Amino acid sequence: MIDMVYAHSAACATRGSLLSGDMTIDKTLKQTALHEKHLAHGARMVNFGGWDMPLHYGSQIEEHHRVRRDAGVFDVSHMTVMDITGAGARAYLRRLLAAEIDAMSMPGRALYSCMLNPRGGVIDDVIVYYTGQDRYRLVANAATRDRVLAWTTELARDHGVRPKVLDELAMLAVQGPAARERLVAQLDGDAGPIAQRLGYFHVAEIGDTWVARTGYTGEDGFEVLLPAAAAPALWQRLVDAGVAPAGLGARDTLRLEAGLNLYGAEMSEEITPLQCGLAWSISWQPEREFVGRKALAEEREAGVTRKRVGLVVEGRGLPRAHQKVLFENGEEGEVTSGGFSPTLGAPIALARVPVTSGERCEVESRGQRLPARVVRPPFVRNGKACIPTVS
């Protein structure tokens, strides 16, 4: 779910002034509590939605492989974190989100959901954590911060709650097959043993630290929310224990391989969950009128015309966002995210295409037509290929 809407502009920035040797820090950019750590470890910093963030620490490919094969740590402190508390919190979230909040009946659960506008378009995708006593924590993307805060505040007026933004927190994502072992050993006090027992999409609140078994890479892992002042020490302990620092570049290739949506690419305020592979996240319980439900019901009744698919490009050439996808019957789609898969050693993409499209297509790229086959995402999960061997 992590916000990568500026990933392509960040990559362009590295091809420009940063790679030419201009390492001047833009003082107008916001910095996380780990900013000095990133610089000390040789990070290539870029403007990411108004934040000075690490794109990579020398090799994006190596960071990608370390997460798939061992463990990596990402600074995701730029995310928008807010607490929603009080007697009206659950009713408010049942109105705000398309997923079923009542599924989190027991404390210690996490839930992925979309926040929709009245047309059914996605304002943002979020993760909600519940620790009991009418207390929820919502994590949204960085680039959507202003619209999310405006929308959540507007809806809150009718429910007697006020979302509280927690800018004083930092957030680390520790991901990979060795993530649990490495993180548990570095957490203080009771946090380690509690994290060891956490199930997938569960969360534990230990003092002023929240540890959740969630992530955005297709690997096992954790996201840790803690006071910003404590984040550099934990980050350094993890690095000293062999966890690789990883930047936004590797995060994007990892999420693409895992078939995870990117806000601003697969999702937007003009694209509904029914069109981008997220129909599973919608709760249709008849008594719950979440924002956007009427529009989604009408779309479903009329027949959804577009769907999200995966593409594996055969031969040379990299698929990129906004390139046309052409089918033999004359139908057309569009690449929403694309690039090279380090794990598969092949070009891959996510695309939005007509629901009636076939299994073979061509991607129109720089005057060429790249042959491709349509597959069902994910491409990679838990370090293993999920599609037939790429030739």
pTM exceeding 0.85: yes
Kindly state whether residue 129 falls inside one of the protein's structural domains.
no
Question: Average pLDDT for consecutive 10-residue bins of the chain (391 residues)?
Answer: 38 29 59 98 95 98 98 98 95 96 94 98 98 94 95 92 95 98 95 96 96 98 98 98 98 98 97 98 92 98 98 93 96 98 97 96 95 97 85 54
Q: Are 172 and 247 in the same domain?
A: yes
216 and 347 share a domain? Answer: no
Domain boundary among 228, 257, 286: 257
Cβ neighbors of 365 (< 8 A, separation 6 or more) are: 317, 318, 319, 320, 323
Based on the fold, state whether residues 183 and 325 are members of the same structural domain.
no
Say if 358 falls within a structural domain. Answer: yes
Domain termination site, one of 257, 289, 323 = 257
Q: Is residue 360 part of a domain?
A: yes
Interatomic CA distance for residues 283 and 371, integer angstroms? 38
Element holding 110 (H helix, E strand) = strand 109-116
Q: What is the pLDDT of residue 316?
A: 84
Same domain for 359 and 244: no
> Looking at the 3D structure of the chain, how many domains does it have?
2
Question: Is residue 120 included in any domain, yes or no?
Answer: no
Structural domain includes residue 112: no
What single string gives the DSSP state of each residue in 234-286? HHHHHHHTTPEE--HHHHHHHHHHTT---BTTTBBTTB-GGGTT-GGG----T
- Does a structural domain hold residue 186? yes
Domain coverage including residue 49: 7-77+168-257
Which parts of 7-144 fold into alpha helices (H)?
7-13, 35-40, 60-69, 89-96
Backbone phi and psi for residue 220, each to the nearest 5 degrees, phi listed first: -65, 155
- Residue at which a domain ends, from 222, 257, 292: 257
Q: Is residue 106 included in any domain, yes or no? A: no
- Please report the pLDDT score of residue 5 as a whole number: 35
Q: Give a yes or no: residue 42 inside a domain.
A: yes
CATH number at residue 189: 3.30.1360.120
